[in-house]
Amino acid sequence: MIKPDKVWCEWKSAKEVLNTLINSKKPIVQQEDSIVNDAICYNFLVKISDTIIINSHNYTHYQLLIDKHTLLPLKIKQTAEGDAEKGGYNLGRVQMYQENIFSNYVINKSISQEEVRFKKQGFALQITAMLSNGEQIPELKVISLDGKNVMAQEFKNKVMLIELGATACPANTLANPMLNRLQNKYAKNGVLIFGIYCDDTAQQITKYRQSNNLAFPIYIAEKRQKRALKTVGTPGFYLVDSTGKILLSSNGYNDNLEADISQQIDKQLAQ
């Protein structure tokens, strides 16, 4: 069982896992022993997937380093690389690296029921659909990249295009040129075009804006804003009229999106 700062493991289960790794006929390779924090470790390479298609190596690998004395994991490393696509768009090569190191194990300590009790508060059902056309956009509570609260009044009586994004989303880059073009086309008419990112720091977003030459602002919001906006994935889009009514919602980018958004904005400006 795992919590953010604690891991519980039964020694019997750890031994069974080790035997499975050693005797498995799956693509698990026992490599030379290694050392982590002065402890000699079993070293296993687990190939979750590993294929070569037209000279392109796509794989997901885990490396497990298990203490030979306690049989407990000391290090788990994940590496992955492959061709990514979304909605039929090729996003290029994507790489992933994650490493977790475990230490300060306490052996044979009794665990209170309170420590392992599951608390339902704070959990919510997975969001599967965005807000629909005709619904009102929730009140926006966002923070600028310099750490200042943006007053909700700034979004009142404005036609707005809201992008729900994340710096780590490869598909986000598909929409950036479109958003820049719309910003350059409609900002002079008072249309607000901006992103709301709920999973990134100001530093990450600032670097992302600079590296992608983004002409539109991006704000930071808390997870509750993400839920209120019914964010299914990234990028997502809401086009909102001056009364706060949603004119268009889109989960993802497509070739017709820019034309659809422009058509709706032109209608609003003509009124």
Asked whether residue 62 is assigned to any structural domain, the reply reads yes
pLDDT higher at 83 or 131: 131
Instruction: Characterize the bridge pairing of strands 89-101 and 142-143.
Output: unpaired
CA 97-103-109 angle, to 5 degrees, is 135
Does residue 175 share a domain with residue 87?
A: no
Whether residue 77 contacts residue 62, with contact meaning beta carbons closer than 8 Å, is answered with yes
Percentage with pLDDT > 70 across the chain: 83
Instruction: Identify the CATH number of the domain in which residue 146 sits.
Output: 3.40.30.10
Specify the range with the lowest mean pLDDT, choosing from 106-110, 169-173, 265-269: 106-110
Does residue 263 share a domain with residue 193?
A: yes
pLDDT given for residue 269 in this prediction: 96
pLDDT of 97 higher than 80: yes
pLDDT given for residue 21 in this prediction: 65
Does residue 147 share a domain with residue 102?
A: no
Asked whether residue 33 is assigned to any structural domain, the reply reads yes
Asked whether residue 136 is assigned to any structural domain, the reply reads no
pTM of the model: 0.64
Asked whether residue 123 is assigned to any structural domain, the reply reads no
Does residue 146 share a domain with residue 266?
A: yes
Asked whether residue 133 is assigned to any structural domain, the reply reads no
pLDDT given for residue 29 in this prediction: 86
Total tally of structural domains belonging to the chain: 2
Asked whether residue 126 is assigned to any structural domain, the reply reads no
Asked whether residue 26 is assigned to any structural domain, the reply reads yes
pLDDT given for residue 15 in this prediction: 63
Q: In angstroms, rounded to a whole number, what is the distance separating the alpha carbons of residues 243 and 162?
A: 15
Asked whether residue 135 is assigned to any structural domain, the reply reads no
Whether residue 198 contacts residue 221, with contact meaning beta carbons closer than 8 Å, is answered with yes
pLDDT given for residue 20 in this prediction: 66
Average pLDDT score over the chain: 86
Residue 257: C-alpha distances to residues 175, 182, 217, 252, 261 (Å): 9, 11, 20, 9, 6
Quote helix, strand, coil % in the chain, to nearest 5: 25, 35, 40
Q: Which residues pair with 239 in a beta bridge?
A: 161, 248
Nearest to 255 by CA among 107, 88, 113: 88
pLDDT given for residue 12 in this prediction: 56
The residue segments making up the domain with residue 147 are 142-270
pLDDT given for residue 170 in this prediction: 81
Q: What is the mean pLDDT of residues 244-249?
A: 96
Nearest to 47 by CA among 66, 31, 33, 26: 26
Specify the range with the lowest mean pLDDT, choosing from 6-10, 94-98, 122-126: 6-10
Does residue 48 share a domain with residue 6?
A: yes
Q: What is the mean pLDDT of residues 242-266?
A: 95
pLDDT given for residue 233 in this prediction: 84
pLDDT given for residue 2 in this prediction: 41
Does residue 112 share a domain with residue 152?
A: no
Does residue 65 share a domain with residue 11?
A: yes
Whether residue 240 contacts residue 137, with contact meaning beta carbons closer than 8 Å, is answered with yes
Does residue 39 share a domain with residue 77?
A: yes
Q: In angstroms, rounded to a whole number, what is the distance separating the alpha carbons of residues 28 and 21?
A: 7
Residue type present at position 56 = S
pLDDT tens track for 2-38? 444 554 455 455 566 667 666 766 688 889 999 999 9
Does residue 101 share a domain with residue 67?
A: yes
pLDDT of 71 higher than 50: yes
Percentage with pLDDT > 90 across the chain: 54
Q: What is the mean pLDDT of residues 90-110?
A: 79
pLDDT given for residue 49 in this prediction: 85
pLDDT given for residue 48 in this prediction: 84
Specify the range with the lowest mean pLDDT, choosing from 17-26, 47-56, 141-150, 168-177: 17-26
Does residue 147 share a domain with residue 112?
A: no
Does residue 236 share a domain with residue 165?
A: yes
Does residue 221 share a domain with residue 152?
A: yes
Whether residue 63 contacts residue 96, with contact meaning beta carbons closer than 8 Å, is answered with no
pLDDT of 207 higher than 70: yes
Q: Which residues contact 256 (CB under 8 A, 6 or more apart)?
A: none
pLDDT given for residue 190 in this prediction: 96
Nearest to 183 by CA among 163, 155, 200: 163
